C-alpha cells in the first residue's frame, strides 16, 4: 500500500521508523518497492553515483525529470520525493514554482525536496499553498559545496547550531512536511524535533523519525568514497566484478553460450 503524508505522520506518531532510499533508475526502484521501503527519493546525488561528477552542481532539471520518470515506473506504489537541482529554484519565486510544477506534472512525484533553510521558507510556503508538498533539507547541503568548501559535519559551533535551529523552525513553520537533517552530530540533531514535520536523518544519528541512504551505498557498488554514516550491507562491487570476470572468461574459452543458452 502506498503511503500518504497522513500515513507517514501516523508512523511518526506511533514511533515507527520511516525508511527512505535515494534511487535513480527503474531496477533499483523496483527492488526497493518489493522490499517495502516507505519513501523513495530521486536525489541529485545521481550527479555523482550515476553521472560520475565530483558534486551535484551540474545536474539539470531535465535530468531529474528523466530519472524520476524511470523511478516512478519501477515503483508506482511508493511515496516519491524528487530533488530540485541547483539553480532550478534559486532564480525567482515564479521560476521556482513553475519548475516544481513541471517536475510534479511530468514525473507523478508526490513531493519535491528543497535544499536550504530560512531563506527558502517563503518559497516553501508558496509551494504548499499551490498544492506542492515540500521536503526541506538542512544542515550539510551539498548544493552549497562551493560555499562551505568540503563535505563536513555541520553545527559544531554554537553560532552554527543557532542558525540551523532557526532554519529548522522556519522551514517547518512554512509548511515543510518533512525535513532531511544531514551531517549533524547526534547530540545536536536530537534536539531538532517538532510535531509539524517528519525528520529524516543522513549522518545525523538515530533519533530522527527515519533514515535515508543512497541505494548504491547500501548495496556496496560505490567503493571510491565512504562517509562515516554509510553502511554497506553487501559487497556489491566485488560481487558484480566477479560475475563480469566469469562472463569474460567463459566467452574467451567458448563456454558461453552453451546449449542451455542457445535457441
Closest CA to 111 of 36, 194, 41, 9: 41
Determine the pLDDT at residue 226. Answer: 81
Other Cβ atoms closer than 10 A to 161: 17
Q: Of all helices (H) and strands (E), which one includes residue 148? A: helix 145-148
| Most distant CA pair in the chain, distance | 69
What DSSP state is assigned to residue 257?
A: S
- The CATH number of 5-232, from 3.20.20.60, 3.30.1330.10, 3.30.300.180, 3.40.190.10, is 3.20.20.60
Q: Which residues contact 102 (CB under 8 A, 6 or more apart)?
A: 61, 65
Other Cβ atoms closer than 10 A to 117: 22
Tell me the three cell numbers of residue 247.
Answer: 562472463
Where are the domains positioned within the chain? 5-232, 235-263
First to last CA, the chain: 41
Determine the pLDDT at residue 223. Answer: 85
Q: Which residues contact 172 (CB under 8 A, 6 or more apart)?
A: 136, 179, 194, 196, 197
Tell me the three cell numbers of residue 78.
Answer: 511508493
Structural contact between residues 83 and 41, judged by C-beta atoms closer than 8 angstroms: yes
| Residues classed as catalytic | 182
- Cα atoms in the 13 Å half-sphere on the side-chain side of 108: 10
Tell me the three cell numbers of residue 213.
Answer: 541512504
Determine the pLDDT at residue 214. Answer: 98
Tell me the three cell numbers of residue 215.
Answer: 541505494
What's the rounded Cα separation, in Å, for the pair 182 and 139? Answer: 5
Structural contact between residues 63 and 82, judged by C-beta atoms closer than 8 angstroms: no
Q: Which residues of the chain have pLDDT under 70?
A: none
Tell me the per-residue pLDDT of 145-173, one tens digit each, with 9 for 90 and over: 999 888 889 988 899 999 999 999 999 99
Determine the pLDDT at residue 94. Answer: 98
Q: Of all helices (H) and strands (E), which one includes residue 21? A: strand 18-22
Is this prediction's pTM over 0.95? yes
Amino acid at each position: 500500500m502506498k503511503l500518504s503524508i497522513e500515513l507517514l505522520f501516523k508512523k511518526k506518531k506511533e514511533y515507527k521508523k520511516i525508511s527512505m532510499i535515494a534511487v535513480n533508475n527503474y531496477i533499483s526502484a523496483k527492488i526497493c518497492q518489493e522490499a517495502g521501503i516507505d519513501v523513495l527519493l530521486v536525489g541529485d546525488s545521481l550527479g555523482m553515483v550515476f553521472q560520475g561528477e565530483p558534486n551535484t552542481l551540474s545536474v539539470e532539471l531535465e535530468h531529474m525529470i528523466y530519472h524520476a520518470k524511470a523511478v516512478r515506473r519501477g515503483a508506482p506504489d511508493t511515496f516519491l520525493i524528487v530533488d530540485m537541482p541547483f539553480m532550478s529554484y534559486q532564480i525567482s519565486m515564479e521560476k521556482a514554482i513553475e519548475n516544481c510544477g513541471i517536475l510534479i506534472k511530468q514525473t507523478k512525484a508526490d513531493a519535491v525536496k528543497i535544499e536550504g533553510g530560512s531563506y527558502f521558507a517563503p518559497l516553501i510556503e508558496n509551494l504548499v499553498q499551490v498544492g506542492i508538498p515540500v521536503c526541506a533539507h538542512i544542515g550539510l547541503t551539498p548544493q552549497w559545496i562551493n560555499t562551505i568548501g568540503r563535505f563536513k559535519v555541520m553545527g559544531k559551533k554554537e553560532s552554527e547550531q543557532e542558525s540551523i535551529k532557526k532554519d529548522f523552525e522556519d522551514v517547518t513553520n512554512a509548511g515543510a512536511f518533512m525535513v532531511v537533517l544531514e551531517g549533524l552530530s547526534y547530540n545536536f540533531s536530537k534536539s531538532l524535533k517538532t510535531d509539524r514535520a517528519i525528520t529524516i536523518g543522513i549522518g545525523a544519528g538515530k533519533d530522527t523519525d527515519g533514515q535515508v541512504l543512497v541505494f548504491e551505498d547500501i548495496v556496496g557498488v560505490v567503493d571510491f568514497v565512504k562517509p562515516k554514516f554509510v553502511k554497506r550491507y553487501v559487497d556489491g562491487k566485488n560481487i558484480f566484478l566477479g560475475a563480469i570476470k566469469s562472463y569474460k572468461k567463459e566467452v574467451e574459452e567458448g563456454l558461453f553460450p552453451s546449449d542451455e543458452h542457445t535457441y
